[in-house]
Amino acid sequence: MGSEHSHERVRGQCGRVMASLSATLLLAGMAVSGEASPRALSPGRSGGGGAEGERARVRALELMRSVSPFATRKLTVTSVEKCRQGNDDLWKVIFSDGTEVFVSHTPKQEVAYFWGTGPLPREPKPEDFAFRKDSAIARAKAALREKGADLSQLRLSGAHFSPSLRNWTVTFQRMLGEMPYRGQGAGVTVSAEMGRINGCEVDFPTPPPAMVPEPAGAGAVERAKQKARRTLEAAGVVPGGDTFVKTEIVRPNASWKRREADGPLQHNLLGELEKAEHAVVALVCKTVDEKGNFFEVWIHAVNGEVVGGSWIGTRRLPKPPAVTAEPPNR
């Protein structure tokens, strides 16, 4: 192995190597010094070097696998070249994405250091794998059919790809016509590599509502807004903005109730967990109070009664401008 000054020259001539990558590569070189056996990858073309060049290629592949596991599917070696840096003989292994790995051979230790001068191995992208978005969605629907889910009640919400897990999470919203169920639907996790189903969940906790009214007109929406504002004011909440209304199928809860029969109306956060076993069509009225808290009041679409609600977070309000006192007259 060359001197410490020699390795410093190698670092300087190899270019802008991130310190974190250098540490990772050094640990990887220690970890794979003769124990790991690489899985078969496309060897690409070699610039010669016989057995020593082949060992350099193998060590470089082991390194790339330790830094970026997805490389086992896509990266190939395009060339293996011998070069000299200071007093060290190095093998430069170049990969198909432009990454360069330098492998140093010494009499006592076959692999001494790795240096990467190209870009860091990028995160995997959906197109790197056999199962892309459309295939993952089709696989998820097939899994739901096998599970006995009624696909006529499900509408695709989205398909999210996770680079670290290398899978797709496909989600569905439960619907009744154009009306969504609050908090009901399905989710399927699909492996992007093999299309394997890693998880499948269907959440239909209630049957459809017993009564489904016609879409609410302007008059019904306005009455729901007024009912919601009166409910908030009775609970000590001062509305600070407009009220927005949408129609949803909800499970009634005890969010707005009186602790005592003749006591004041209060918002009960734990009451949101006290959900009924049935569902109703409701006009969900959402508003924000003067402190930036968002509240919902659910108004039954048939009888106009409050059937529940929720607190859905706080909005950061802008700070008032600072008041600078005028200097006293002198």
What residue ranges do the domains of the chain occupy? 4-122, 127-203, 218-314
CATH architecture of 127-203: Roll (3.10)
- Nearest-CA neighbor of 224 among 299, 288, 156? 299
Q: What pLDDT score was predicted for residue 256?
A: 83
Span 248-257, pLDDT tens digits: 999 999 888 7
DSSP letter at 40 equals P
Q: Give the whole-angstrom CA distance, residue 205 versus residue 278.
A: 8
Dihedral, 67, 72, 76, 81 alpha carbons, nearest 10? 40
Locate the DSSP E strands across the chain.
Answer: 77-85, 88-95, 100-104, 114-116, 154-162, 167-176, 179-191, 197-203, 244-250, 256-258, 265-267, 280-288, 293-300, 306-314
Calculate the CA 271 to chain-centre distance: 30
Span 103-150, pLDDT tens digits: 776 544 344 444 444 444 556 777 777 788 999 999 999 999 999 999
Q: Give the whole-angstrom CA distance, residue 268 versus residue 221.
A: 25
| 11 has a pLDDT exceeding 70 | no
Span 263-319, pLDDT tens digits: 667 777 777 888 899 999 999 999 988 888 899 999 999 999 999 999 877 655 455
- Nearest-CA neighbor of 38 among 80, 72, 81? 72
Q: Give the whole-angstrom CA distance, residue 120 versus residue 100.
A: 10
Place of tokens 């220690």: 30
Q: Which residue has the higher pLDDT, 170 or 26?
A: 170
Span 27-85, pLDDT tens digits: 333 333 333 333 333 344 444 567 878 888 887 777 766 655 554 456 778 888 888 76
- Nearest-CA neighbor of 120 among 157, 80, 71, 186? 71
Q: What pLDDT score was predicted for residue 226?
A: 94
